[in-house]
Structure 1
Amino acid sequence: MARDSREQQLIELKDTVKELNTTIKNLNALIEAANKREAEHLEKEKVLQEQIEYLTKKLFGKSSEKRDDFEGQFNLFNEAETLMAEPDPEEQEFTTVEKHTRKKKTKMTDKFANLPVQKVLLDVPEDERICDICGTPLERIGEEFVRREIEIIKPSLKIIEYYSVSYGCPKCKEDAEVPHIVKGRDDQKHMLHGMASAGTVAWVMYQKYVNCLPLYRQEKDFKMYGAEICRGTIANWIINNAEDFFRPMHEYFQRKLVSGKYIMADETPVQVLKEPGRRAETKSYMWVFRSGEYDPEQIVLFHYSPTRAGQTAKEFLEGFHGYLMTDGYGGYNKLKDCTRTSCWAHVRRYL
């Protein structure tokens, strides 16, 4: 009887061990599945974090293609210096840096040294230049500085009319067959368009391109000064006079640029409104050409073209035989007489 009970207990223990082994096996499977899911989640989290960093950099990072040194990446040009072993601290030479001196503050007299000064005397009226005690006339004994003011003299308009004065010989008028008449001449040739003087054209150009004052606001200024001059007239002053006076300068600098050894070029899309034969949405291009960074004469020229065709660069740089620095745009391949060089800042586009 006792033997049967021990066998029964042994059988129950074996069943318990078997159940426990099955439970352990199931738990190990669950743990393995959980570890696998955790690894997948970590991988997804890593990818999402990289996407967040990339989008954050695109949204808030630099838009310039200027290259910065990245952590852990050797500099291409300073590799030898980067890999060179650091010297022993005991062998290092120490240099003493001089104490930094703060820049002196600009004095008031230095800030306005180039402005004309008008001296105003706060004089005593003549009827008060008598001593109240003894009645003796007062004598000037000196002057004392009171204050300093900055005054703006607003622009004003005036019309200048030129008349040629004529002179005739009274004797030749009576005796000669043809009277002798001499007229006053204008030594300066008037090449300007319209009534605007050279100073007026220079002023509207300065207001437009230096102070960024639109022509419609300049029109209001002219009206406030007492002249009804519409913005279309002002625009004609700028365009026509720039065409006549600046084109020879542009052509001269273009010849200087082409005769140099280095040229950099690029093109930027612009939108031109009301261009004949083209829609307002059509892209036009402003080409920029400049001399080498270390050339003694720095030249920067802009050239407008309705298209991005490489023929534009070929015609503008005709006769150039030096080194041309551009991006990877294939339109510059039309220039056969020069050596093409590429910009390092654009290399990363292809990596």
Structure 2
Amino acid sequence: MDEREFSRLPPAAQAYIRELEARNRQLGERVRHLEEQFRLAQHKRFAPSSEKLQDRIFNEAEQAAAEDPEDDTGELDLPDTGLPEAPEPARRKRGRKPLPADLPRQRIEYDLPEEQKICPCCSNAMHRMGEEISEQLHIEVKASVLQHVRFKYACRRCERFAERTPILVAPMPAQPLPGSQASPAMIATVMTGKYVDGTPLYRMEDALGRANIPVGRGTLGHWVIKPTQLHLERLYQSLRKTLLSQPLIHGDETTVQVLKEPGKTAQSQSYMWLYRSGQDSAEPVVLFDYQPGRGKQYPQTFLADYKGMVMSDGYSAWRAIKGVTHFGCLAHARRGFVEVLKTQKKPGKRAQQALEFFQRLYRVEALAREKPPSGETRAAYTLRLRQQHSVPLLEAFKAWLDEQAPQVPPESSLGNAISYTLNQWEYLSRYVADGRAPVDNNIAERDIRPFATSRKVWLFSDTVAGAKASAVIYSLVLTCRACNVEPYAYLRHVLTQLPQRAPETDISDLLPWSFLQVSSYVG
């Protein structure tokens, strides 16, 4: 129907047709939005999530956008700041790596029988001219029983003439779990198995059963929770003091299910809150804090009186912390545009152009990680590079976002990505004013990933005490990872030493970075 025919219709019919057209546009946008969400859900469920795949998507989108003549998006004009191009990544050497030189070698010799040591040509005796060596990795899992024998002494004279006989018993070192059959090494093995290797307690019970060692999962759980409450909690509190004294803290949170929590159903969600020191910290700390909810009061309480920098995603509970300088996660904003490429049937130029900005901004950060010039600190060098390159890029990116926002449906995946970036712009762009500030929260996300991965195996915590113990042990093993300390060796060491230390004594020498200085067990 052309305009002339439409104008001849009664006003009521015209209004009805306009209403139907508007409704049709709304339904079309709704269908496109649901299709995007469906494709994104399929991609998250079935497609690999590696960075290489994301780069491939980016490259395919760039090529598709360049070949699409119907895409009327303008060409991107990036500011020329003299930023050098990224070098080609070095190729990894392929081939089998040699076995570690520090592992003990057990020599197994193979010799010829005496009658075969005769030359087949002249029948004279042969001499040994050398040897041929090949190596195999050999691991033996052994269990043993430690018998703590305490000698007892009595007085024979008192036995004969006195009314009572004094008896003296040789003391033995205090144990991490008094009265238990578990040694420090056994407790460390259980903790490492669950919190480092992700092995549930019922599988440990089965493994011990195959070796004719009857230990139930309830006992294994007791070996985890009680020593944590008695000893490891002291280390956790010491680590917390160290963390709160540092200039930068990364924050994140993830869900956990606790079956027996007062006032909550077994199906309800609780949370593990993560607090992490900066990448360049000389004393890196990773702490988990179990809480029943996701409210702003939990990070506020944990970070009470803290006055440093806090890096987080856009969740409002983190922004509610007062007295700190907040920073936003550039990687989180970038992820929104990457998801646009995953949801679109034919990727357009807009998402690809946004990712070009992120690519340049991260190139600046890669340049800042190189060795600074002589006489210039790392922070000063980073600040100078950011002011020279990142500031103009961010200004151009902000102008691009402002231009694109009115042209994109707000409910679309691209509209959501643009809206999130604009809403968080104050926090996303703040890092350029401080050379110490991080550009993203990736380090916290990496540290929360082991917990999220293990959660798929053990699914839930049975009690609040178990969830709190898990928070403490995850804190210790991930702090060990940040310090390049082997977690089993560390847990065994502190479970041996802490029972000998009175509650008021200093335990700073038992923190992971101190253990690294004195231990030969380095990861």
Partner of 2:104: 116
Letter in 2 for 1:122: Y
Residues 339 and 181 (structure 1), Cα distance of their counterparts in 2 relative to 1, 3 Å cut: same
Q: CA deviation at 1:159?
A: 2.2
Which residue, out of 266, 275, 283, partners 1:297? 283
Partner of 1:281: 267
Residues 73 and 249 (structure 1), Cα distance of their counterparts in 2 relative to 1, 3 Å cut: farther
String of CA shifts for 1:127-173, please: whole Å, max 9, x gaps. Answer: x599899xx997864564375544332x2322222121134566787
Q: Contact between 1:129 and 1:138, CA under 8 Å: does it hold in 2? A: no
Partner Cα distance (1:74, 1:291) in 2 = 41
Residue 190 (str. 1) matches residue 172 (str. 2): no
Partner Cα distance (1:143, 1:198) in 2 = 46
TM-score by length of structure 1 reads 0.64
Q: CA deviation at 1:215?
A: 1.4
Partner Cα distance (1:297, 1:51) in 2 = 46
Partner Cα distance (2:133, 2:79) in 1 = 68
Partner of 1:337: 323
Partner Cα distance (2:33, 2:125) in 1 = 88
Letter in 1 for 2:235: M
Larger Rg: 1
Alignment of 1:1-351 (within 5 A): 51=33, 54-55=36-37, 58-60=40-42, 82-84=78-80, 110-123=98-111, 141=128, 144-145=131-132, 148-153=135-140, 155-168=141-154, 182-186=168-172, 188-192=173-177, 194-332=180-318, 335-343=321-329, 345=332, 348-349=419-420
Q: Contact between 1:271 and 1:284, CA under 8 Å: does it hold in 2? A: yes
Of the structure 1 ranges 252-261 and 263-272, higher mean CA displacement relative to structure 2 is found in: 263-272
Higher RCO, 1 vs 2 (CA within 8 Å, ≥6 residues apart):
2
Residues 138 and 177 (structure 1), Cα distance of their counterparts in 2 relative to 1, 3 Å cut: farther
Of the structure 1 ranges 298-307 and 238-247, higher mean CA displacement relative to structure 2 is found in: 238-247
Partner Cα distance (1:228, 1:323) in 2 = 50
Q: Contact between 1:129 and 1:137, CA under 8 Å: does it hold in 2? A: no
SS of equivalent residue, structure 2 residue 260: coil
Partner Cα distance (1:148, 1:254) in 2 = 45
Q: Contact between 1:156 and 1:225, CA under 8 Å: does it hold in 2? A: no
Partner Cα distance (1:307, 1:341) in 2 = 23
Point out the structure with the larger helix share: 2
Q: Contact between 1:289 and 1:302, CA under 8 Å: does it hold in 2? A: yes
SS of equivalent residue, structure 2 residue 212: coil
Across the aligned residues of Structure 1 and Structure 2, the Cα RMSD in angstroms comes to 5.0
Letter in 2 for 1:191: P
Partner Cα distance (1:226, 1:207) in 2 = 19
Of the structure 1 ranges 177-186 and 272-281, higher mean CA displacement relative to structure 2 is found in: 177-186
Partner Cα distance (1:170, 1:125) in 2 = 64
How many residues are matched? Answer: 297
Residues 314 and 150 (structure 1), Cα distance of their counterparts in 2 relative to 1, 3 Å cut: closer
String of CA shifts for 1:107-137, please: whole Å, max 9, x gaps. Answer: 66x33433322222334567x599899xx99
String of CA shifts for 1:24-65, please: whole Å, max 9, x gaps. Answer: xxxxx99xxxxxxxxx9xx98x9699558734652355799x
Letter in 2 for 1:111: L
Partner Cα distance (2:261, 2:218) in 1 = 16
SS of equivalent residue, structure 2 residue 242: helix
Runs of 5+ consecutive residues of structure 1 not aligned to the other structure: 1-28, 31-39, 87-94
Runs of 5+ consecutive residues of structure 2 not aligned to the other structure: 6-20, 63-72, 334-417, 424-523
Residues 272 and 117 (structure 1), Cα distance of their counterparts in 2 relative to 1, 3 Å cut: same
Partner Cα distance (2:299, 2:135) in 1 = 57
What percentage of aligned pairs have identical amino acids? 29
Partner Cα distance (1:172, 1:73) in 2 = 104
